[in-house]
Structure 1
Amino acid sequence: MLDKVEAIVIRTVDYGETNKIITLLTKERGKVGVMARGAKKPRSQLTAVSQPFIYGSFVIYKGSGLGTLNQGDPIKSFRKIREDLTLASYAMYMAELVDKLTEENQRYLFLFDWLYLSLLKMEEGADPEVLTRIFEMKMMDVAGISPNLNQCVSCGSTETPAAFSIRYGGFLCRSCLHKDEHAFPCSTQTSRLLRLFYEMDLYRLGEISLKKETKQQLKDIIRAYYDEYSGVTLKSRRFLDQLERMNLGTNIDT
């Protein structure tokens, strides 16, 4: 059966001397793996559409096993991202997060739009680190590990949070700080941004410039939360962390 879908390439794996297995995040069917036969040949019509982050229209043949890519037409290549090591590293982390936290042939509401808009904003010059934190927060819902961001997880108070507890999965107010001595202290801005990033409509995303300290608080909390609850290990995260330690990451702190 032939099926035409719009999709973003989120993973590629060489298969044999001339083929690739590519993983697509489709609008219509969620994540789909397909064989791109001959895609490693320089003159193959599939070469151009079998690259990471390509957004295109794909015709696939779906049988009982792995599908086959019959045709592909690129709509947007995100060339700037693919040619920049730092941008490509952040984009690969997002793509791997999608790959590891989703099931094949299951459509997740808004996920395709989130990834496409994140790549688009990144290519247009938005801070890739901030985009990544937003994407991580939104992927928590996909993974089924959403934290409690509306009130103190201990007493239910809606006063300004003083810390984020990985153990209890949400904010603690100042009166409940003693409940978790390992909770991450967080500023008013950090607690506000965690809520904002989780709920944000990426279509309405404007320019966001954050101080170094705020970025670090967000990263520490979100990473620790994923480590505790997601159950996934990402190769791209290790590489991205190495880049950031070498101060190669994009920095627009004010």
Structure 2
Amino acid sequence: MLYRVEGIVIRSMDYGEGNKIVTLLTKTNGKAGVLIRGAKKVKSRHASLAQPFTYGEFVFFRKSGLGTLNHGEIIESHHRLREQLDLAAYASYAAELTDKALQEDESSSFLFEQFHASLIGLEEGKDAQIISHLYEMRILEAAGYAPELDFCVNCGNEQGPMRLSPYAGGALCPRCTGQDPHAIKVGEGAFKLLRLFRRMDLRRLGAIQVKPETKQELKKAMRALMDAHLGIPLKSRSFLDQLDKYTI
């Protein structure tokens, strides 16, 4: 069967002497694996289509499993994301997270748009860490693990200060923090941002400035949520941590 899809390359790997296999996050068909013959050759007309973060139209034939590219056109190359180390690190994290968290048969045009918006935001120079946390929240939402942050998940109380309990599924009020002795203390500013992340569409993210100490709280909170509910080991996250040591 012949498929014509819009997709973004979230993974690219060598196959044989001159070929590449790419994993696409498509707008309509979820994830798709496609063999691009000759993509490693310098003069290949399809070499650029195999580059990570490339957004294009892909026409491929597939009976079952892996497809084979017939034709493709680049819509956005996102080449800047491959040229700057910090941008490449954050874009790679979003791509690997998408690849590992999304099942083969899952299709979500909204998640596609959110991933695309993440790449655009990174290129436009918006805060990479904030973009990363917003996208993590979208992944949690897609997996069915989005936290409840507007009221206590144990008693419904809306009065704070709240603590974050990843295992309880969200906020715990002062009366209920004993339900989870490992609940995380989060400052008021960081908690407000977490609530904002829970509702915000990445396509609407504007310029935002967050204090370094607040960003550290956000990172701790989002890491706890991701580890509690997804627990996916990611090479790109380890690299981000190494990068942070030299940029903080």
TM-score using structure 2 length = 0.96
Gaps of 5+ in 1: 250-254
Evaluate the alpha carbon distance shift between residue 64 and residue 167 of structure 1 in structure 2; reply closer, same or farther with a 3 A threshold: closer
1:159 aligned onto 2:166: no
How many residue pairs were aligned? 248
**3-state SS of the aligned residue for 1:175?**
coil
The structural deviation recorded for 1:106 is: 2.2
Map of 2:82 onto structure 1? 82
* Range that drifts further, 233-242 or 196-205: 196-205
Residue 186 of structure 1 corresponds to 186
2:125 maps to what in 1? 125
Q: Distance in 1 between matches of 2:103 and 2:152?
A: 32
The amino acid that maps onto 1:124 is E
Cα deviation 1:122-157 (Å, max 9, x = unaligned):
101101111001100111011222222231122210
For residue 48 of structure 1, give the secondary structure of its aligned residue in structure 2: helix
Give the SS at the match of 1:125.
coil
2:193 matched to 1:177? Answer: no
SS in 2 for 1:114: helix
Cα contact 2:27–2:109 (8 A) shared by 1: no
Identity within the alignment, %: 49
CA distance in 2, matches of 1:189, 1:68: 49
Equivalences for 1:36-115 in 2 at 5 Å? 36-115=36-115
Structure 1 residue 62: deviation in Å? 1.3
Structure 2 residue aligned with 1:23: 23
What TM-score, normalized to structure 1? 0.94
1: CA distance between counterparts of 2:181 and 2:107? 40
CA distance in 2, matches of 1:120, 1:107: 21
Give, as a single letter, the amino acid of the residue that structure 2 aligns with 1:111. Answer: L
Gapped runs of 5+ residues in structure 2?
none
SS at match of 1:154: coil
User: Does the CA-based 8 Å contact 1:9-1:50 persist in structure 2?
Assistant: yes
- Asked if the contact 2:135–2:202 (Cα under 8 Å) also holds between the matched residues in 1, the reply is no
Q: State how far apart, in whole Å, the 1-side matches of 2:134 and 2:116 are.
A: 13
